[in-house]
Amino acid sequence: MDQIGYGLKTRTRLTIGDAETRVRAALAAEGFGVLTEIDVAATLKTKLGIDRAPYLILGACNPQLANEALQSEPDVGLLLPCNVIVYEDGTETVVAILDPGTMVGLAGNDELQAVASEARARLQRVLDAVTDRGGPQ
């Protein structure tokens, strides 16, 4: 498992299709729905004629946690939903998720800490569900 400055990331030997399927199932198991989907590769092909490897952005939302965050900070909606990306990188598939703790820092509202911590724990379990077991990452 890798951590980037604003998110969490893992690599897997699953195909991008299998990783996406596993991500969607894990999100649902953690109470998240997918509100938006952006097929970046298809969009770039259509709009710019550019061919690129598959790259998908899923906008995931847990209604309970979103409601709690919005009660503390109505403008935090600018930082919702939690984006999940799935893309190919060589022979591996990368899955990365925006760290909900990022919204605490951007919003400057410490009341969001509890909801961000809960969301992060749930999203970490989503990444765990797609991480290969028993091999190098």
What is the pLDDT at residue 2? 66
Q: Domains plus CATH for the chain?
A: 2-130 (3.30.310.70)
Q: Residue 52 and residue 75: Cα distance in Å, rounded?
A: 34
SS3 category, 61: strand
Of the candidates 9, 25, 40, the residue with the CA atom closest to the CA atom of residue 131: 9
What is the pLDDT at residue 3? 62
What is the pLDDT at residue 133? 56
Of the candidates 41, 44, 122, 116, the residue with the CA atom closest to the CA atom of residue 85: 41
CA–CA distances in Å: residue 51 to residues 26, 39, 54, 86: 30, 12, 9, 17
pLDDT in tens, 7-25: 999 999 999 999 999 999 9
Global model pTM greater than 0.85: yes
pLDDT (tens digit, 0 to 9) for every residue of the chain, 137 residues total? 666 788 999 999 999 999 999 999 999 999 999 999 999 999 999 999 999 999 999 999 999 999 999 999 999 999 899 999 999 999 999 999 999 988 788 888 888 999 999 999 999 999 999 997 533 33
What is the pLDDT at residue 102? 84
